[in-house]
Amino acid sequence: MNDTPNRTPLTADVERHLLDSVGVAPAEASPSDLLQAVSLAAREQLSRRWVASTAADRHAKARRVVYLSMEFLMGRTLGNALAALGLEGPAADAAQAHARTLEDLQAHEPDAALGNGGLGRLAACFLDSMAALGLPSFGYGIRYEFGMFAQSIQGGRQVEHPDPWLENGTPWEFPRPDVAWPVRFGGWVEHPQGPGGPAVWHPAGTVNAKAYDMVVPSHHDERVSTLRLWRAAAPAHIDLTAFNSGDYARAAEFKNQFENISWVLYPNDSTPAGRELRLRQEYFFTSASLQDVLARHMAEHGRLDNLHEAVAIHLNDTHPAIGVAELMRLLLDEHALPWARAWAITQATFSYTNHTLMPEALETWPVGLIQSVLPRHLEIVYRINHEFLLQAARHRPGDNAFLQRLSLIDESGERRMRMAHLSIVGSHKINGVSALHSQLLVNTIFSDFAAIWPERFTNMTNGVTPRRWLAQANPALAALLDESIGTAWRRDLDRLADLAPLADDAAFRERFGAIKRANKARLAARLQRELGVPLDPDSLFDVQVKRIHEYKRQLLNVLHVVTRYLAIIAEPQRSWVPRTVLFAGKAASSYVAAKTIIRLIHDVASVVNHDLRVAGRLAVAFVPNYGVSVAEALMPAADLSEQISTAGTEASGTGNMKLALNGALTIGTDDGANIEIREAVGDDNIFIFGLRTPEVEARRREGYRPGQIAAAHPTLQQVLDAIGGGLFSPDEPGRYRGLVDSLLQVDHYLLLADYADYVATQQRVDALFTDAAAWQAKAVRNVAGMGPFSSDRTIAQYAREVWRVQRGG
């Protein structure tokens, strides 16, 4: 051990854990040993907070919010825990005592990547804000043994690797061996008291859901929130029977049939899997969570008819929608409530958020599959549907088409259960995630429901936690804010507005600019090390990071890159504003078009980055394995934030908020939360381009002809010819012919319609960047405008308007 300048109590705790828990001589501790020991030292403090908070809530019989989500993209925990506990300094000292930095240790912590993208990361930001606001709250999800696949790039192509994040255990979970619920599947249903009465379900199999808790600390006080994740375990007697007969292989196989439920996250956010295992996952975690909620309620209240007064249960998209039928089943069959009472409680308890308008992402399940996996739930949904349609018929007597559109069952082909409809009918509040998206919900996919229940539909614009996305990710900027406007922004992000006057202060801008420059240099060094690509920190860092999807239009960005490449070659003597275009994102493994886009980005990068004619003026890099930790490195280093989805397709976006919060300027369409960002920062501090939603709709209605656009625009035609003709794939000139043909013939997301305005807007971006003072002033005004995009604001709004929960004691 080295000299210890600051031997804090934490350093002593760390030494103790090295010896007693990790089992290593402190002098020989490796970075991962140290990570383990520091984590355990923080964990014990979280444990005490958890015990105190939950006891207080139990005592107060506090009204709680329960957030049901199939995904929680938590990322790493140590940095967040240390910040919340006020232990960042002591932890750095403890690391230093072993001649390490805290960053060295943190790099060894795997991300908890239990989610796909925006929906999952939003759930993680929400937990942070629930804790920050002191709301009595539980998140519930699945303890996937394998999270989101890790992405590597081989020969320009995405390769997926399993993510065994629990391989070496995690110090952050608290197994609760006493908390386990049976979840049943299949079998048949008996009605001893006739068809309307309580039923007896004779399942074909039962799996145990075992609880593992993660503690979510508040950054402001001692309160915590809980993320309870369920692991599927075969009932104990199963192993025994097979073991007794000596057939170990069969015993193992049998056990797997149960335990596979919590093995792997479905890595697809484009189209529903439509697989039985996915349905089993959804029911598994929803049923376990509801049983847990009811047991807690019974322990505190001794009766269920006031459930809705004590708990608000939120459906994060339709993945837990079967919960509507499950709560009914529990109330009817296990607690003998009458139908009308059970239904009133259910509707008063649930609320639902929709996260996408993409028709292909709306979940439906074949009725035959539900019949075989959840026979009792199918009966219950039929009855809910029957009573709902009777009620709906009174709104539009004789309008059968109306009823068919509303029905919980789609009868147009193979009969399917519409999970969004079940969520709406079972909830008292339904929201979208930005003003535009919520408006589009009531005007388009949910318009028939809005006609019946206009008061149920509302908007809750997304937000992001400033703890992770500013304080942790960008400590230098956070320190500058503390110094210039005080620390109040840390509790109340609206105080960032106090920065606005400093946009006109040259000395402040200078320091603000220097922090951005340092963040860019750090990222450049890392990418040099990891990818071998040299990047110039003085160039404009143009960043598009998000799942790879056609509607998000990474391909439009590529069209601009190629446009710029050809222009520089054509006019080498002009003075070009140096640009580094950075991409990151994963494609669903089965999404061929998205994978082709990744390959094209790599092909373009390798030609551009090796062409001396554009050296120092244009570089392209794809950062592999995008996830929470990669995002924490990218957000603070961006100058320009690409938010270029076709208007009307991106429900909200949250990367747009993280980037602006770190001082990036947005180039974006009139879509999702971009619209509200524009309102917050002002038209002069954002670059909005392209068709608006009604114009997109009009173009499609009129019969959109992308080929005509290309024919009328020589530069665009050249760019398409270059890509389609193999300029970037000389070894296989036809590689992108199909991609280009489909743009020319279909172009479902109207890239060609927005191309000219996009490229012109990029030229305005260049012009501004040459004026550093003007650019920095706008960047400062972006940070100043981000107050409304704190997830604290979002959660306070849900708490007041949807959940009616208040701060706990």
**Candidate segments 197-205, 206-214, 646-654, 697-705, binder of ligand 26V by CB under 6 A:** 646-654
- From 429, 552, 560, 617, the catalytic residue: 552
Least distance between ligand 26V and beta carbon 363 (Å): 5
Q: Backbone phi, then psi, for 194, in 5-degree steps?
A: 90, 170
Is residue 363 involved in binding ligand 26V (CB under 6 A)? yes
Which is nearer to ligand 26V, 171 or 432 (by Cβ)?
432
**Candidate segments 192-200, 223-231, 355-363, 705-713, binder of ligand 26V by CB under 6 A:** 355-363
**Using CB atoms, what's the residue nearest to ligand 26V?**
118
Neighbours of 468 (CB within 10 A): 26
Active-site residue flag, 552? yes
Is residue 653 involved in binding ligand 26V (CB under 6 A)? yes
**Which residues from 507-526 bind ligand 26V, rule CB under 6 A?**
none
- From 563, 654, 666, 669, the catalytic residue: 654
Is residue 320 involved in binding ligand 26V (CB under 6 A)? no
Active-site residue flag, 547? yes
- From 231, 468, 547, 793, the catalytic residue: 547
24 Cβ contact partners less than 8 Å away, ≥ 6 residues apart: 18, 30, 33
Is residue 118 involved in binding ligand 26V (CB under 6 A)? yes
Pairing state between β 205-217 and 224-233: antiparallel
Nearest one of 316, 323, 312 to 118, comparing CA atoms: 316
Least distance between ligand 26V and beta carbon 69 (Å): 10
Nearest one of 179, 144, 177, 135 to 293, comparing CA atoms: 179
Is residue 654 involved in binding ligand 26V (CB under 6 A)? yes
Is residue 117 involved in binding ligand 26V (CB under 6 A)? yes
Cross-strand partners of 174: 213
* Contact between residue 120 and residue 71 where contact means Cβ atoms under 8 Å apart: yes
Q: Which two tokens stand for residue 126?
A: 């929400």
Is residue 782 involved in binding ligand 26V (CB under 6 A)? no
Which is nearer to ligand 26V, 117 or 808 (by Cβ)?
117
Is residue 264 involved in binding ligand 26V (CB under 6 A)? no
- From 280, 658, 735, 778, the catalytic residue: 658
Least distance between ligand 26V and beta carbon 467 (Å): 18
> Among all chains, which residue has been given the structure tokens 């005004």?
781
Q: Backbone phi, then psi, for 157, in 5-degree steps?
A: -110, 145
Nearest one of 335, 333, 339 to 304, comparing CA atoms: 335
Least distance between ligand 26V and beta carbon 435 (Å): 13
Nearest one of 658, 597, 648 to 754, comparing CA atoms: 648
Quick one: how far is CA 157 from the chain centroid? 24
Distance CA 540, CA 45 (A): 43
Least distance between ligand 26V and beta carbon 587 (Å): 14
Is residue 355 involved in binding ligand 26V (CB under 6 A)? yes
Q: Which two tokens stand for residue 490?
A: 């840390």
Distance CA 244, CA 233 (A): 19
Which is nearer to ligand 26V, 599 or 658 (by Cβ)?
658
**Which residues from 375-394 bind ligand 26V, rule CB under 6 A?**
none
Is residue 790 involved in binding ligand 26V (CB under 6 A)? no
x/- site string to ligand 26V, residues 94 to 113, per CB under 6 A? Answer: --------------------
> Among all chains, which residue has been given the structure tokens 């709680």?
64
Pairing state between β 427-432 and 350-353: parallel
Q: Backbone phi, then psi, for 189, in 5-degree steps?
A: -125, 135
Least distance between ligand 26V and beta carbon 360 (Å): 8
Least distance between ligand 26V and beta carbon 356 (Å): 4
Least distance between ligand 26V and beta carbon 418 (Å): 13
Q: Which two tokens stand for residue 326?
A: 């499950």
**Which residues from 438-477 bind ligand 26V, rule CB under 6 A?**
462
Is residue 672 involved in binding ligand 26V (CB under 6 A)? yes
* Contact between residue 64 and residue 136 where contact means Cβ atoms under 8 Å apart: yes
Neighbours of 191 (CB within 10 A): 12
**Candidate segments 338-346, 535-543, 647-655, 800-808, binder of ligand 26V by CB under 6 A:** 647-655
Which is nearer to ligand 26V, 208 or 434 (by Cβ)?
434
Give the count of residues interacting with ligand 26V (CB under 6 A): 19
Is residue 147 involved in binding ligand 26V (CB under 6 A)? no
Distance CA 259, CA 658 (A): 37
Nearest one of 652, 649, 705 to 674, comparing CA atoms: 652
**Candidate segments 41-49, 83-91, 651-659, 765-773, binder of ligand 26V by CB under 6 A:** 651-659
434: part of which helix (H) or strand (E)?
none
**Which residues from 268-287 bind ligand 26V, rule CB under 6 A?**
269, 272
Is residue 116 involved in binding ligand 26V (CB under 6 A)? yes
Which is nearer to ligand 26V, 434 or 474 (by Cβ)?
434
- From 355, 377, 468, 490, the catalytic residue: 355
541: part of which helix (H) or strand (E)?
strand 540-545
Least distance between ligand 26V and beta carbon 361 (Å): 4
Least distance between ligand 26V and beta carbon 640 (Å): 19
Which is nearer to ligand 26V, 355 or 579 (by Cβ)?
355
Which is nearer to ligand 26V, 118 or 636 (by Cβ)?
118
Active-site residue flag, 669? no
Contacts 24+ apart (CB under 8 A), 753-756: 753/690, 753/691, 753/699, 753/704, 753/706, 753/709, 754/556, 754/644, 754/646, 754/669, 754/689, 754/690, 754/691, 755/556, 755/559, 755/709, 755/713, 755/716, 756/713, 756/716
Candidates 373, 424, 433, 594: give the one binding ligand 26V (CB under 6 A). Answer: 433
61: part of which helix (H) or strand (E)?
none
Distance CA 521, CA 676 (A): 31
**Candidate segments 85-93, 197-205, 580-588, 648-656, binder of ligand 26V by CB under 6 A:** 648-656
**Angle CA 690–695–700, to nearest 5:** 110
Nearest one of 128, 139, 138, 137 to 71, comparing CA atoms: 139
Neighbours of 243 (CB within 10 A): 13
Which is nearer to ligand 26V, 233 or 358 (by Cβ)?
358
* Contact between residue 706 and residue 746 where contact means Cβ atoms under 8 Å apart: yes
Active-site residue flag, 228? no
Q: Within the chain, what is the greatest distance between any pair of CA atoms?
A: 88
Is residue 141 involved in binding ligand 26V (CB under 6 A)? no
Active-site residue flag, 595? no
808: part of which helix (H) or strand (E)?
none
Candidates 41, 62, 95, 122: give the one binding ligand 26V (CB under 6 A). Answer: 122
* Contact between residue 687 and residue 664 where contact means Cβ atoms under 8 Å apart: no
What's the DSSP call for residue 551?
Answer: T
Distance CA 290, CA 272 (A): 24
Q: Backbone phi, then psi, for 473, in 5-degree steps?
A: -75, -30
Candidates 13, 15, 326, 650: give the one binding ligand 26V (CB under 6 A). Answer: 650
Least distance between ligand 26V and beta carbon 121 (Å): 8
Which is nearer to ligand 26V, 484 or 589 (by Cβ)?
589
> Counting every residue, how long is the chain?
809
Is residue 124 involved in binding ligand 26V (CB under 6 A)? no
Enzyme catalytic residues: 355, 546-547, 552, 654, 658
Residues near ligand 26V (CB under 6 A) are 116-119, 122, 269, 272, 355-356, 361, 363, 433, 462, 650-654, 672
